[in-house]
Amino acid sequence: MISTNDFHTGLTIELDGEVYTVVDFQHVKPGKGSAFVRSRLKNVKTGYVIEKTFRAGEKLPRAHIDYREMQYLYSSGDENYFMDTSTYEQLVLSNETLGDAKKYLKENMVIGVQMYEGSPIGVELPNFVELAVVDTDPGLRGDTATGGSKPATLETGAVVQVPLFVNIGDVIRVDTRTGQYLERV
């Protein structure tokens, strides 16, 4: 159990049978009445953010999340196969568990898998990935780096907006947190 007075950013707690991470918190001591803690909590599975107010000193169960480094092997239908890099044990995750991370997974990529009570609840991608462009409109002569943008389909199936000078076969760097084009590699 952990007290709301001990909240810090990144702390994981259990609330209503779900696992949440503390995104933001504020201790409030009004002139009249008892102190309380305002917090913003992010659901680890769904990614939804909620705002919750607790009494100061209220006890909550702490959720212990383990991070295991795993290598993405391949996918088959709705199943995605990963291998633990230390024990060589294989794990199967559904597309639902991966969520938007599926759009940026390449074979042999090493990612972090979040484990709670022995079962996977989510994945943590590297902040940036390098992917090849497999389909986009051709660039025209005179296109500049400061011009407009066009959609490009990447080797993993993700579609991102890229500058007009990017062509098929180019390798680009994409931010996995926002899904935005960063630079041509």
At residue 160, the pLDDT reads 94
In this prediction, residue 173 has a pLDDT band, given cuts at 50, 70 and 90, of: very high
Q: What is the mean pLDDT of residues 152-181?
A: 91
| DSSP-assigned beta bridge partners for residue 133 | 154
Give residue-wise pLDDT tens across range 75-115: 998 999 999 999 999 999 988 888 888 899 999 999 999 88
Give residue-wise pLDDT tens across range 7-27: 888 888 999 888 998 989 999
Say yes or no to pLDDT of 185 above 90.
no
For 160, other C-beta atoms within 10 Å of its C-beta total: 22
Helices (H), the chain: 95-98
At residue 142, the pLDDT reads 61
Region label for 5, one of left (φ > 0), alpha (ψ between -120 and 50) or beta (otherwise): alpha
For the chain, what is the mean pLDDT? 88
Give residue-wise pLDDT tens across range 118-158: 888 888 889 999 999 999 988 666 656 556 788 999 999 99
Write the DSSP string, 66-113: EEEEEEEEEEETTEEEEEETTT--EEEEEHHHHGGGGGG--TT-EEEE
Residue type, 78: D
At residue 154, the pLDDT reads 94
Q: What is the mean pLDDT of residues 171-175?
A: 94
Task: Map out the domains of the chain with their CATH numbers.
Answer: 2-60 (2.30.30.30), 65-124 (2.40.50.140), 128-184 (2.40.50.140)
The closest of 141, 117, 83 to 12, measured between CA atoms, is 117
The first and second tokens of residue 112, run together, are: 């972090």
Q: What is the mean pLDDT of residues 147-174?
A: 90
Residue type, 42: K
Q: What percent of the chain has pLDDT over 70?
A: 95
In this prediction, residue 183 has a pLDDT band, given cuts at 50, 70 and 90, of: very high
Cβ pair 125, 145 in contact under 8 A: no
The closest of 182, 176, 178, 179 to 163, measured between CA atoms, is 182
- How close are the terminal C-alpha atoms of the chain, in Å? 48
Say yes or no to pLDDT of 46 above 90.
no
Q: What is the mean pLDDT of residues 164-176?
A: 91
Cβ pair 182, 172 in contact under 8 A: yes
CA dihedral of residues 158, 163, 168, 169 (deg, nearest 10):
-80
